[in-house]
Amino acid sequence: MLGIINKIDKLTELTNALPDNTYIFSTVSIDKNKATFNVNVGYTDLHLSKLIDIFNNRPESKMIFSVRSSKEYYTTGAYPTDHQVKELVKGIRKECRVFYQEPWPAEVPNFNLEDTVVLRFGYDEGCNFDKACAANTVFDMEHKNGSGVLLISKEGNIVLENRVPVLI
């Protein structure tokens, strides 16, 4: 799925604008060769160990988690939950900081910090990829059907879960 997603020109234009060392937790759904992405759903405890492995193997010594708080308008709670954030921080062998984003429509700051990797959950009004997700932008795909969970970045996308084997 990594290679397939990186071949989508329209998506590449959006991800190339992302800050360095920034990953966005996202889901993808493909129906009849048409893909849509979502940045506001999909995280479960099943992804915890994969995220810990991925980020513990990165060279940076610091990590920022950008998350949504339960004070957000139009939400049913924090994303990810406070418990899930604590478990992520506990498992990462780096100096970790948790950034609670200001309520929408505030933008997430560009954390372009030396020796730091960022994992962002939830919508960012300042990100064109997120705006495309919110607008239900459809991306043409080679595959007919499928879904998955991935980390989107300008450095390349990382597949966390293939819900349909055809995406591999």
Q: What's the first-to-final CA gap in the chain, in angstroms? A: 5
Q: What is the mean pLDDT of the chain?
A: 86
CA distances from 45 to 88, 129, 136, 143, 168 (A): 10, 25, 26, 28, 22
The pairing of strands 116-120 and 62-67 is parallel
Specify the pairing of strand 34-38 against strand 139-140. antiparallel
pLDDT for residue 3 is more than 50: no
Confidence label for 12 from pLDDT (cuts 50, 70 and 90): confident
- If you ran DSSP here, which 8-state letter would residue 153 be given? -
pLDDT greater than 50 at residue 38: yes
Distance (Å, rounded) from C-alpha 49 to C-alpha 47?
6
Return the axis-axis angle of helices 48-56 and 82-91, rounded to nearest 10°: 40
Domain residue limits, the chain = 2-154
> Quick one: tokens of 50?
């994969």
Residue entry with tokens 């597949």: 159
Reduce the secondary structure of 67-128 to three states and give it as a string.
EECCCCCCCCCCECCHHHHHHHHHHCCCEEEEEECCCCCCCCCCCCCCCEEEEECCCCCCCH
Least confident stretch, 15-19, 69-73, 93-97, 124-128: 69-73
Average pLDDT over residues 83-96: 96
